[in-house]
Amino acid sequence: MPCYICVTCGTQYADTECPPGRCTICEEERQYVGLDGQQWITRDELCAEHGNRVAELEPGLTEFETLPKFGIGQRAFLVESPRGNVLWDCLALLDEEAVEHIRERGGLSAIAISHPHYYTTMVEWSEAFGDVPILLHEDDQQWVMRPDDRISFWSGDLKPLHDGLTLIRCGGHFEGGTVLHWPAGAGGRGALLSGDVIQVTPDRRSVSFMYSYPNYIPLNAAAVRRIVAAVEPFGFERIYGAFRHMTIAQCAMAVLHRSAARYLRAISD
C-alpha cells in the first residue's frame, strides 16, 4: 500500500489502501488546506512529475530543491563533515540524482529536521542511506504522521553531534523548533542553518520570526528573545534559510540582533 503525501504541505502518512481523509498538519492553524481542497500524491506520481535541483553553495554544503515547486518549497542541505555527513531538513521527492550525489560525498550519518512542516518523506530518505537515525526534538513528537523506529527523539535545548555540529532548540514556530550550527561553514567562521525558525527575508539583509507564516500569526516578544538567546553562544557569519537564495552571507549575528530589535519594536505598544 502507498504512503500518501499531502500535496499542500508535503507531509507523508503511514501506508493506507486509500488516501487519508484529512491532513492533520494542514488543518492546524500554522498551515492551511489548499483552495482546491485536500489533495494527495504517491511517491511514483511525484517522481514522474518533478525532479531535484542540486547545487553546491560552498565547500561542504549542497542544497537540494524540488522543481517544479512542490509543497512548501523548502530546500534541504547536505552538510559534509569528517566524521559523517548530515542531511538538514527534508524534501518530499527522493530521486536518483539526489541519492547519487549524497553517496558520492560519503553518504549520511544522520538526518536532522528543523520542525514538522519539513518532516515529509524523512523515513524514505533514511531507508535510502542505510536506516540512518532521524533526529527530531521530542516536543514535536505529536506531529509525526508516519511513525518509524528510525526516528530518534532528543530532549533539552542542545544536542551535540560530531565535529562541533550542534542542534539548538529555539522554539518559536514550533515548540521543538530547531536550528543547526555548522562551525566549519563560511570558511570556518560558522554558519547557522535555520529553516524558517529564523526566517531569512527577501531583502537578504534581515530575518524575521512568526508562529504562522501563511496565516500571518506573529510570535510574542518572549519567544523572539528566547530564539536569540539560544543561538547567541554560537559564532556564525552566515545564515542559510529555508528557501532558495534566502541566505545572509555575512555579519549574520549582527543581522539577527538588528532584526530582533526591529521586530520587538514593531509588536510593542
Delimit the domains of the chain by residue range. Answer: 5-267
Per-residue pLDDT of the chain (269 residues; tens, 9 = 90+): 899 999 999 999 999 999 999 999 999 999 999 999 999 999 999 999 999 999 999 999 999 999 999 999 999 999 999 999 999 999 999 999 999 999 999 999 999 999 999 999 999 999 999 999 999 999 999 999 999 999 999 999 999 999 999 999 999 999 999 999 999 999 999 999 999 999 999 999 999 999 999 999 999 999 999 999 999 999 999 999 999 999 999 999 999 999 999 999 999 98
Which neighbouring-strand residues pair with 61?
Answer: 58, 79
Cell numbers 541519492 label which residue? 99
**Contact between residue 67 and residue 92 where contact means Cβ atoms under 8 Å apart:** no
Helix axes 252-267, 221-231, angle to 10 degrees: 170
Contacting residues for 75 by C-beta, under 8 A, at least 6 apart: 63, 64, 65, 89, 91, 242, 243, 244
Look at the pTM and tell me if it is higher than 0.95: yes
4 Cβ neighbours under 8 A, 6+ residues apart: 12, 13, 16, 19, 20, 40, 41, 42
Q: Was domain 5-267 assigned CATH 3.40.50.300?
A: no
The sign one gets for the Cα dihedral 155, 224, 237, 30 is positive
Main-chain dihedrals φ then ψ at residue 158, nearest 5 degrees: -140, 140
